[in-house]
Homo-oligomer: A and B are copies of this chain.
Amino acid sequence: MKVSYSSDEERFREEVRKWFEDNTPPDVKDQTLGGSTLEHGLMFKWHKTLYEKGWIVPEFPKELGGAGLSETEQFIFNYEYSNCGAPRLKTKLVSLGMLAPLLLQHGTKEQQDRFIPDMLSGKTIWCQGFSEPNAGSDLASLNMKAVLEGDHFVLNGQKTWTSMADHADWIFLLVRTDSSGKKQEGISFLLADLKTPGITIRPIEALTDHAPFCEVFFDDVRVPKENLVGKMGEGWKLAGALLQHERLNAFPVGELIYAIETVRKKSEKTIYRGKPLIQDPVFRRKLAALEVDCNSLLYTFFRILSQLKVGSAPGPEASFLKVYGSELYRRVMDLNIEALGPYGQSWYNLEEFDNSIHQATMGWINSTSLTIWGGSSEIQRTVIATQVLKLPRK
């Protein structure tokens, strides 16, 4: 057993850290906590910078546009990326983070060649069309119809909670191609150009007053049948594989560590009754308790990385990373806003306020939703209970 990184890994870490220090634009730095607040022009520019460096999807092999990083290097990379305060890139999250790996495994050669290069360069932005108004936690109940007519599927229905749809070019979809059997079995996986006639996009305003997601309506939308991924009726299985792939990355621990570090630094600078807030015995105790939990989660990632090294992929038990991570992140953001004192009640866009206040209040609001998206805490706990602990389902 060893706690330290190897000297190669340490060297890589230093290289990444230094590069981000030197190359992250000031207006991209320290934007992590606020969540979805990075302005879109800035995001595309930052995408391009990373693409040119070859780090837009560093976990991919070099021949596919990545940097061929090992699991540990990838972890180090993500950790240091967060550590510079840059927010997750929504321009790559669903495209390179989810769809590309799926296409590489289950897509046709044509699909791979047609779509992946533009994902890398940032030319094509993708969004994900899974949830529907009546299919949230119960995703398999989805209703959106796709009927094959000649060379085209004809789509009718609605998707919702589609992140970035109003800035995206393409969407990948779970659609119902068969309603006769078990509900999981009639689902297929399609790719659609958002410029296709019949698609209407309506942004949904979140509690942050931004619109990070949209409703997408489909009215007799014709999608060429070569845009089917996998076989007809394989959609549920593909979605499962895609989510499987995401498990380890479902919770960005680097952002958590960045957040708790932010709280610590802030409380060193804030004055309370003549002393730094961090010296207030109750505050420092809360901070210490959170740091213990954050460290334990970080060590858990180390432990899972060790398992990955010897080839055991994390199964459903990795669900707990997302449950615990999101709930812990929420507690960190609670303390972050607590550190602000009266300023914690303020909303954004006021010259008087510095960025850290803006990040704290937006970030706090955002943190309340992390336990909802990507499989709510309730769903994940049920997965742990039934799939990991094997408690009876009925």
A341: interface (CB < 8 Å): no
Interface: A281 (CB within 8 A): yes
A146, chain B: closest CB distance, angstroms: 34
Which residues in B have their C-beta under 8 angstroms from that of A281?
281-282
- Beta-carbon contacts of A272-283 to B below 8 Å, as 1s and 0s? 000000000110
Complex Cα distance, B285 from A82, in Å, reads: 35
Residue in chain B with minimal CB distance to A280: B281
Q: Which of A235-288 contact B (CB under 8 A)?
A: 281-282, 285
Nearest-CB distance from A290 to chain B (Å)? 14
Chain B residues with CB below 8 A from A285, complex form: 282
CA distance A282 to B283 in the complex (A): 9
In the bound assembly, the distance between CA atoms of A329 and B299 in angstroms comes to 35
Contacts of A282 in B (CB 8 A): 281-282, 285
Bound state CA distance, A285 and B285, in angstroms? Answer: 11
Interface residues of A in 281-325 (CB under 8 A from B): 281-282, 285
- Give Cα distance in the complex from A269 to B281, angstroms: 21
* A56 to B281 CA separation, bound complex (whole angstroms): 49
8 A Cβ contacts from A164-184 to B: none
A285 to B282, CA, bound (A): 7
A242 to chain B minimum Cβ distance, whole angstroms, is 34
**Complex: A190 Cα to B285 Cα, angstroms:** 57
Proximity bits, A69-102, B CB within 8 Å = 1, else 0? 0000000000000000000000000000000000
| Shortest distance between the CB of A273 and any CB in chain B (Å) | 12
Query: Shortest Cβ distance from A356 into chain B, in angstroms?
Result: 26
Question: What's the nearest-Cβ distance from chain B to residue A205, in Å?
Answer: 29
Q: Whole-angstrom distance from the CB of A185 to the nearest CB of chain B?
A: 27
Complex: A282 Cα to B282 Cα, angstroms: 5
What is the bound-complex CA distance between A281 and B282, given in angstroms?
7
* Bound Cα distance from A281 to B281, whole angstroms: 6
Q: How far is the CB of A267 from chain B (nearest CB, A)?
A: 15
Query: With the chains together, A281 CA to B275 CA distance in Å?
Result: 15
Q: A239 to chain B: closest CB distance in Å? A: 30
> In the complex, A285→B289 CA distance in Å?
15
| Complex Cα gap A282–B281 (Å) | 7
Q: How far is the CA of A169 from the CA of B281 in the complex (A)?
A: 57
Minimum CB–CB distance from A75 to chain B (whole Å) comes to 35
For the complex, give the distance between the alpha carbons of A282 and B284 in Å: 10
Interface string of A214-225 (1 = CB under 8 A from B): 000000000000
**Chain B: CB-nearest residue to A285:** B282
User: Within the complex, what minimum Cβ distance (angstroms) separates A285 from chain B?
Assistant: 5
In the complex, how many angstroms separate the beta carbon of A275 from the nearest chain B beta carbon?
Answer: 13
Closest CB in chain B relative to A334 CB, distance in Å: 16
- The residue in chain B whose Cβ has the minimal distance to the Cβ of A281 is B281
Report the bound CA distance from A64 to B281 in whole Å.
Answer: 57
| Nearest CB of B to A281, in Å | 4
Q: How distant is A278 from chain B, measured CB to nearest CB, in Å?
A: 14
- The smallest beta-carbon distance between A375 and chain B, in angstroms, is 24
A291: min CB distance to chain B, Å: 15
For the complex formed, measure the closest distance between the CB of A287 and the CB atoms of chain B, giving whole angstroms. 12
Closest CB of chain B to A28's CB: distance in Å?
Answer: 39
CA distance A285 to B284 in the complex (A): 13
Bound Cα distance from A274 to B281, whole angstroms: 17
Q: Chain B's nearest CB lies how many Å from the CB of A68?
A: 49
Roughly how many angstroms separate A285 CA and B281 CA in the complex, as a whole number? 10
Which residues of A approach B to under 8 Å, CB–CB? Answer: 281-282, 285
Which 4 A-B residue pairs are closest in the complex by CB-CB distance? A281-B281, A282-B285, A281-B282, A282-B282
Task: Show 4 residue pairs from A and B whose CB-CB distance is below 8 angstroms, ordered by the A residue.
Answer: A281-B281, A281-B282, A282-B282, A282-B285
